[in-house]
Structures are given as structure tokens and as C-alpha cells.
């Protein structure tokens, strides 16, 4: 079963929602966050990336950063202003990007179910990133980062969602990146119906936000040790049906060819038995990777590049590329720590890869075919872990529109 609970959201007034809302804290650097928030004193980046309001060079994990975040949150609540809903509610959150649309249920989800594995993971978390958001939650006594969940599509959920979204939304605006965000508040009857329907959904899956979920669980543990209770038994998330999810490729660029010339690298690929031919900037099918090298696109066929082990995760294209190209030919063992590799996700696509190579910031680029939501669910059901940087979910939720105070 999946337990969902209504909550008293802290949220902007409709007139200021677009200005308050911000990109997720973890998709921008400090410099990028500072640039985005310049001239906008009510941007939620002043809360999620509060180091932008401290002197240049401030350690983003220094104690004063979390103290500043708490002060900025208090100021924002007064000056944006942010309002607190009078009654607990559930919400519907719709994202539109181009021709793509997805609508999910925004609610509080069970930390207990997360810890018991009923809310399933597919990614390992890093302790330092958990530490950061745990400290942020405790400093603010609020969860400001929304977890992105998915579940097997339910006609019952869709029916209720359709009824709710026929009414006037709380918010409806288009962000600077062209993504439209609309949020509706369900009434008491609709909320009760949604809770009942979700109680029959067997599992939820974290699509994006593993560190947010882990930090919510750790914050609860720390608050309990301090004798506090509050509303830390749940975490805020939006759950979308799996048939509406959109995963874009997560591409790779490598700074050098490990001592090879372009001709030598092509020869090394052929010697490993990897078929390659002149190709285009996007792979046409699974098991194919588009490679940009020395001004030309190639198609690498990884169909016969057999995985190292019998698991769904090992059979993914990113795993095959790692096992048969990146590690043996380019010397990249751990993509999470190797400084020679970088990643370009989302809609930036082939143009960004080609520019990185043409401008000398990389020597070779690899454009991946996107994994599917079925891949993610299968790996999660196996208890497996997807390779790092496998999925890029787009469009993304905005921070600052729905906040859960604990």
C-alpha cells in the first residue's frame, strides 16, 4: 500500500508564485544560482542556495549558510508573502513542456514506507549530500525540496485528477525555460478519494530526489534524538503515473583520449570488436551510442557488447559503454569521481556535446539513447542500482511552490 497524507502547505500568493519559484537546488552551481536570483529578492534560491547571499568563496556547507537559509526563509514568508493553508489538503501538479504533459499528486508520503522499501530506490546516495539537506531541513524545520515519485498508472487516480484539474488552479505560469507549471488544491472529498485509491497502489518509485528522501528520514531521526516530534514522519513529494513520465538521455563527454589520437581511438574500438560507422548526432535505437570525435559523428553498435553480469542494470547502454569503452579504452573507472568525465543531460542534446568537443573542452562525446521508465521500475523491483547518471527527468518540479513545515 501507499500512504499519502494531506498537509498544510506553505505557498506563495498566486501573483508572486512565478517569481518565488526556482529551479531545484541541485541542478545549478552557486554561481548559476546567484545569477538566476540577481534582481529577484523573493527567488526561493535565497533559501535553497543561501550561500549566494554570503561573501564569494563561502563554503556552501558552512554553519552560517544554514543559519542564513533560515533567516531568508523567515523574511520570504513575510515579504513574498508566503501563506499557510488553513486546512490540510492534497494537490495536483501539472507540468507542460512542448507537447509533453504530466499530472501528479502532491502530498506527504511516509518516511516509514521509505525506510521499509515500499517506496523503492534505484540510486545510491552520498553521505555529504545527505548531510547538506538534513542540516537544511533541521535549520528551517521545513522540507523545501520536493521528491519526484512515480507509480504504475491507475485509472482511478486519473479520474480524480481530471475532476480536480477542471477547476481553476491556484497557480498557472510559464517559467523562463518554457515549462508551464499549474497547481490545483483538491477539496476534502477529493483528497479522501485520492488517499483511498493510493492505499491500493502496491509500490512507489523514486524517480528523482533520492537525497531529498534520505535527508527527510535522517532529519526525523535527529529530531527524535533531540526529543522533538513535529510532522517529520512524512516527506513532501509529487507522484506521477509511469505512463506520463519523460526521461531524456544523460550524455557523456570525456576530456582526453588517454594518450590516443582520434585515429588510434577508432582503431582501438575496432580491435575490441565494436562495430562503428558514420552516423548522426542521436542514436536511432537501444544498444546504439552516437559518438562525436574529431568533427564527425559515428554510430557505435553495442548490441554484442555483452554485460558483465546478469542483471537489468548491467544490460543498460550506459553500463555497456562503461564496461567496453570508457573503462578499458579511456581509463575511466568510477564516473562519480573521475574528473576527466562530465555529463550533459536534458534538452541540451547533441549541440552541447558537439560544442564541448569543437571548443576543446572535451576530446570525445557520447550521446545515449534514453532509458525507459520500465527499466527504472524493473531495476528498482530487483533491488538493483542504476549506473550513475543514467536518467534525466524533464520537465522538473520547481522549488518554493509547496513547502512542508515540520
Tell me if 354 sits within 8 A of 365, measured CB to CB: yes
Q: What's the confidence (pLDDT) of residue 10?
A: 98
Other Cβ atoms closer than 10 A to 339: 7
Q: What's the confidence (pLDDT) of residue 277?
A: 97
Annotate 205-244 with b (16+ C-beta within 10 A) or e (fewer). Answer: bbbbbbbbbbbbbbbbeebeeeeeeebbbbbbbbbbbbeb
Q: What's the confidence (pLDDT) of residue 220?
A: 96
Q: Dig out the grid coordinates for 138 from the structure.
A: 533541521
Q: What's the confidence (pLDDT) of residue 392?
A: 92
Q: Dig out the grid coordinates for 362 from the structure.
A: 572535451
Query: What domains lie within the chain, and their CATH numbers?
Result: 4-247+394-405 (no CATH), 250-369 (3.30.1760)
Q: Is 343 helix (H, G, I), strand (E, B) or coil?
A: strand
Output DSSP code: residue 75. H
Residues of the chain with pLDDT under 70: none
Q: Which segments within 244-378 are labelled E, that is strand?
A: 247-248, 250-254, 276-278, 288-293, 296-301, 341-345, 364-367
In the block, cell 507542460 appears at 96
Tell me if 11 sits within 8 A of 402, measured CB to CB: yes
Distance CA 153, CA 362 (A): 41
DSSP H or E stretch at residue 106: strand 100-110
Distance CA 130, CA 68 (A): 19
Amino acid at each position: 500500500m501507499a500512504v499519502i497524507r494531506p498537509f498544510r502547505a506553505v505557498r506563495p500568493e498566486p501573483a508572486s508564485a512565478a517569481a518565488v519559484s526556482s529551479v531545484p537546488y541541485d541542478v545549478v552551481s552557486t554561481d548559476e544560482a546567484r545569477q538566476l536570483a540577481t534582481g529577484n529578492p523573493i527567488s526561493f534560491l535565497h533559501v535553497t542556495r543561501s550561500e549566494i547571499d554570503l561573501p564569494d568563496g563561502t563554503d556552501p556547507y558552512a554553519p552560517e549558510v544554514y543559519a542564513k537559509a533560515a533567516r531568508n526563509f523567515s523574511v520570504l514568508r513575510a515579504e513574498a508573502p508566503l501563506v499557510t493553508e488553513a486546512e490540510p489538503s492534497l494537490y495536483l501538479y501539472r507540468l507542460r513542456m512542448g507537447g509533453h504533459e504530466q499530472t501528479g499528486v502532491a502530498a506527504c508520503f511516509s518516511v516509514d514506507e521509505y525506510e521499509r522499501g515500499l517506496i523503492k530506490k534505484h540510486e545510491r546516495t552520498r553521505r555529504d549530500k545527505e548531510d547538506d539537506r538534513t542540516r537544511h531541513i533541521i535549520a528551517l524545520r521545513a522540507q523545501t525540496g520536493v521528491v519526484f515519485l512515480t507509480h504504475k498508472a491507475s485509472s482511478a487516480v486519473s479520474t480524480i485528477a481530471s475532476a480536480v484539474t477542471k477547476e481553476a488552479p491556484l497557480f498557472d505560469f510559464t517559467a523562463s525555460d518554457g515549462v508551464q507549471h499549474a497547481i490545483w488544491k483538491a477539496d476534502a472529498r477529493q483528497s479522501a478519494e485520492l488517499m483511498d485509491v493510493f492505499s491500493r497502489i502496491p509500490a512507489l518509485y523514486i524517480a528523482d530526489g533520492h537525497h531529498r528522501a534520505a535527508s527527510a528520514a535522517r532529519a526525523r531521526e535527529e529530531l527524535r534524538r533531540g526529543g522533538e516530534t513535529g510532522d517529520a514522519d512524512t516527506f513532501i513529494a509529487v507522484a506521477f503515473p509511469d505512463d506520463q513520465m519523460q526521461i531524456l538521455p544523460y550524455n557523456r563527454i570525456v576530456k582526453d583520449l588517454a594518450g590516443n589520437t582520434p585515429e588510434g581511438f577508432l582503431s582501438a574500438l575496432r580491435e575490441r570488436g565494436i562495430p562503428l560507422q558514420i552516423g548522426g548526432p542521436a542514436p536511432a535505437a537501444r544498444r546504439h551510442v552516437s559518438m562525436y570525435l574529431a568533427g564527425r559523428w559515428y554510430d557505435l553498435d553495442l548490441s554484442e557488447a555483452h554485460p558483465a553480469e546478469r542483471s537489468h542494470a548491467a544490460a543498460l547502454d550506459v553500463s555497456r559503454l562503461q564496461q567496453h569503452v570508457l573503462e578499458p579504452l579511456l581509463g575511466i573507472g568510477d564516473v562519480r569521481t573521475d574528473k576527466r568525465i562530465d555529463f550533459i543531460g536534458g534538452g541540451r542534446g547533441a549541440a552541447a556535446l558537439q560544442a564541448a568537443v569543437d571548443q576543446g573542452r572535451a576530446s570525445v562525446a557520447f550521446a545515449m539513447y534514453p532509458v525507459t521508465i520500465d527499466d527504472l521500475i524493473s531495476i528498482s523491483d530487483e533491488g538493483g542500482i542504476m549506473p550513475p547518471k543514467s536518467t534525466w527527468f524533464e520537465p522538473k518540479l520547481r522549488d518554493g511552490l509547496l513547502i512542508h513545515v515540520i
